[in-house]
Amino acid sequence: MKRIMTRSFLILIVTLAVVAGMCLLAFRVVTQNDQWVAQPYNGHVASSNGLAQAGSITDRDEVVLAYTNDNEERVYHEDFATRCALMHVVGDNSLNISTAVQSMYRGELTGYSFVFGLGVPKSLRTNNSIELTVDADACKAAYEAMGGKDGACVVYNYKTGEVLVDISTPTYDPQNPPEINEDNEDEYDGVYLDNVMSSSYTPGSIFKIITAACAIENIPDIYERTFQCSGEYDIDGEPITCENAHGTIDFTTAFAQSCNVVFAQLAVELGEEKMTETATKMGFNKSFEVSGVTLSKSVYNLENALGDNQIGWSGIGQFEDLANPMHMAIMCGAIAQGGTPVTPYLLDSDSSLLQKLGVTKAKQSEQMLSADTATKLQELMRSTADYYYNARGLTMGGLNFCAKTGTAETGEDKAPNGWIVGFTEDENHPYAFAVVVEEGGYGISAAGPVASAAISSLVNNP
């Protein structure tokens, strides 16, 4: 009997293990309940009147972007273009835009608290408002400059991390959401994705920033070298082409004139290992998080490269390269800031819940570049902007700026995607930006004006 009793301690051990498991569960319930609640399928927040109790959403100047009126209807900004421009940031009544504030933080907007749960009757519920960092006017300006094309535009303050412009097209009016059916599904293809956060595009020539960074760090005499460009160069028997022959040029000029021949050769010379190392350090193949949204990854991967030719193409942003617009802006922020970026954020709220989630402030990121490389990239991008973009009439609200455009081939029967990435150099207006216009043609003519419109609006309507 005594022995049996002693051995029953095993039951005690099992029971204590179960109690430990319960403690773990309780801990998770207490610490993670806000994330658990904010799911698109949650019937308590996603039902038709889920926003009937929600608080308002305002921009940085306290312009109301969405609120619930006395009839429990959700009302968005009065201006059509502003509504469309901010649709992906604010969201609509549905939870279709999963990264939008009204989807991700509906619990906060509708007054969720762990103590009361979501079961509090309407008459007793208190809701919360959320202030965003975006500028409604600048978003509208950028949206209109897109001219109906699909793409994305992001501008953020690289010193504070505030995202000022975040627009994604195609979009629709959240006040009157379209019924998407077989007839119009082409028009609304990808409309539920915020392209700034959740899409990655072929980067084209803007990737030369990464190849340049790799060359600066690994080829000591890069600035002393000269290159020959005859408009075409064979690697492994297949040509890499430029639009026209650049002749004899140095590294800086090759960057400014975006010479494919030079940069493809540099990529081959640097090789898979070094290129991948630099790209990874600069944020490719990594997940960033911006106000709780995990960004679509930028990709630089040579595992499928069959030879030097494809490595060459990868060095000029083709092959399998992909770039996420928000990541490109962060990378430009890093160059402007001496190598280490400030992570952008979208929500500016005193809410204890949101602050606990860590989505309301900028966070220091990992270093992407050495200070020296950052300075040299600044010089390259500054001279590019000074000599070539200014000459073609591209301005950024009258500010000095550094930039690189790209024109990315995406398929035989499609017009190329136009890109511009860069940053302004101004104490009061330190903006990093990235714009991509799908099938827009040349970066300078397609994406340039969008960035220009957004930044001009920010400078002129402070």
Considering only 20-28, 55-63, 177-185, 324-332, which stretch makes contact with another protein by CB under 8 A?
A: 20-28
3 binds another protein (CB under 8 A): yes
Within 80-119, the residues that bind another protein by CB under 8 A are: 112-119
Q: Which two tokens stand for residue 280?
A: 């990874």
Residue 62 φ/ψ, nearest 5 degrees: 60, 25
Q: How far is residue 309's CA from residue 289's CA, in Å, rounded to a whole number? A: 34
Nearer to another protein, 8 or 230 (CB): 8
Q: How far is residue 260's CA from residue 262's CA, in Å, rounded to a whole number? A: 6
Considering only 36-44, 165-173, 255-263, 405-413, which stretch makes contact with another protein by CB under 8 A?
A: 36-44
Q: Which two tokens stand for residue 24?
A: 């773990």
Nearer to another protein, 121 or 148 (CB): 121
Nearer to another protein, 16 or 245 (CB): 16
33 binds another protein (CB under 8 A): yes
Considering only 67-75, 121-129, 245-253, 391-399, which stretch makes contact with another protein by CB under 8 A?
A: 121-129
Site string for another protein, 39-78 (x = CB under 8 A): x-xxxxx---------------------------------
Tell me the CA distances in angstroms from 432 to 68, 156, 160, 350, 384, one per residue in order.
34, 5, 11, 26, 16
The neighbour count for residue 325, using CB atoms within 10 Å, is: 30
Site string for another protein, 380-419 (x = CB under 8 A): ----------------------------------------
Considering only 13-21, 208-216, 252-260, 326-334, which stretch makes contact with another protein by CB under 8 A?
A: 13-21
Of 437, 238, 202, the C-alpha closest to 317 is 202
Beta strand 130-131 with 57-58 is parallel
Q: How far is residue 445's CA from residue 424's CA, in Å, rounded to a whole number? A: 19
Question: How many residues in the shown chain lie near another protein by CB under 8 A?
Answer: 47
Considering only 16-24, 164-172, 231-239, 400-408, which stretch makes contact with another protein by CB under 8 A?
A: 16-24
Min CB(15)–another protein separation in Å:
4
11 binds another protein (CB under 8 A): yes
Min CB(200)–another protein separation in Å:
19
Within 174-193, the residues that bind another protein by CB under 8 A are: none
Q: How far is residue 164's CA from residue 324's CA, in Å, rounded to a whole number? A: 17
Nearer to another protein, 17 or 75 (CB): 17
Nearer to another protein, 316 or 354 (CB): 354
Nearer to another protein, 14 or 75 (CB): 14
Find the binder of another protein among 48, 71, 123, 304 (CB under 8 A).
Answer: 123
7 binds another protein (CB under 8 A): yes
Considering only 15-23, 142-150, 246-254, 350-358, which stretch makes contact with another protein by CB under 8 A?
A: 15-23
Residues lying near another protein in the complex (CB under 8 A): 1-8, 10-12, 14-15, 17-19, 21-22, 24-26, 28-29, 32-34, 36-37, 39, 41-45, 112-124
